[in-house]
Structure 1
Amino acid sequence: MHLAICDDHMADRKQMERLLGRESDRRLNTTGVLYVDSFGSKESILTTPMIYDAIFMDMTEDGCDAVELSHMLRADGTDVPIVFCCDKVDYRKSKNLPDNALFLDKPIVVAELTEMIDHLLSIKNSKAQKLEFRNQTDTFYLTEDQISCAWPKNYRYVCIHTTNGSEYTTDMSIASFCGTLSKYDSFILLASNTVLNMRYIRSISMFKVTMQDGKSFRLGFGEAKVLRKSVDACMEKLAQGEKAQGEEA
């Protein structure tokens, strides 16, 4: 799990670094290492907010408090939990708190920090994982179920078409793109090097496959039969997974 500390009180920031380091050591053989970055100003955290699973925050200096900064992060697309560390300011009493706000009291109690990390891990594990893609100017994040289809623009770029109709270009080969998606069973690579999310296939004819949004792609000879079998297997596996989740609930 990747965590950020954003605290303009240097002593408190260093103490949290030590506490999270020890917490990480205790979890090495259980829930895994905690990767921690530490920031002392709003400018530094605003440059890389999307890579974290949670942010611990207490900001009171330089005319920007933690609540104001949290809304800047939300405006930039960060939806991860923000843990407000209460000391001089009791953020529980603050107006206009962002969604997904949690609280710890300073000085930090080890048992309470451990409980908070457990809670953050449960939130992380229940969320759809975001996949990171880059091009020359931007970094963007998509979940598996946001990707409808993709195709190579040339050997260096892939165009990703999303379920809301947006398109993104990422700097990678189609082979690397498929590697990024390899843990998901819902994607299939056609002979044309087009990648389809089988969740969103509307129809398959002898030489054409059509997605739910109307986008269509040509199929090679005999490819339709293989694709139908793959879609059936994918849908059956998804249904089994949903049934298992329902039984656990």
Structure 2
Amino acid sequence: MPLTIAICDDNENQIKEMRRLLAEWSADKPFALDIDEYISAESFLFSYPDKPCDLILLDIEMKRLNGMELARKLRSDGNMLPIIFITGYSDYMSDGYEVEALHYLLKPVDNSKLFAVLDRYIKRHTPENDIMLNCDDGSMHISPEMIVYCEAVGKKTHVHLQDKTLVCNMGISSMKNILPEEFIFCHRSYIVNLRFMRSIGKANITIDSGDNLPLSRRLYKDVNEKFIQFYTKG
């Protein structure tokens, strides 16, 4: 499932600005982002049971039910939905601690501060060794240990597991950046997991399944050294 963030603010221009910032933040992220918009606390409470979210960006000063009252209502119901308060007033900061808010940002929102808070949230809520992939079938967490090799196909990357292949909406260079060090380029279009390498030849690599992957001549020395190091370390 994609990450879903709700924006709750009675100012439509503020909602538009927060949507813009979220789009900027998520542009280079390896997962899909869904954004739900609410013009009042009441509309959020009405929709939330059937339309849950992972996190809410919540204004405090709203007509009728304000954001702090909404937060207290959630907490009294035992709901620990992560909340980032976004407001023009600093007077409520101590109340924010009371309802265990994730953070408190003042308007106008500094994009670097918002991005830092969101990045910390993602880091805490993604299993330490997992990566999140935005695939044709939806976003998913996956352990890198399940990946045998990755293959560039156009602007996408085919991630080959032992039992299936995932088609991911990111380039192979971006894929390499989120993989651990045991994943190496053996060709400009292929990344192989050293754990699944059986042998290495001058022009190809044989993996445990018996399949062969191409090996670039210019990468042969580096791949061979890392292959030997991986299986002789310790």
TM range (shorter): 0.3 to 0.5
Instruction: Provide the TM-score with structure 1 as the length reference.
Output: 0.45
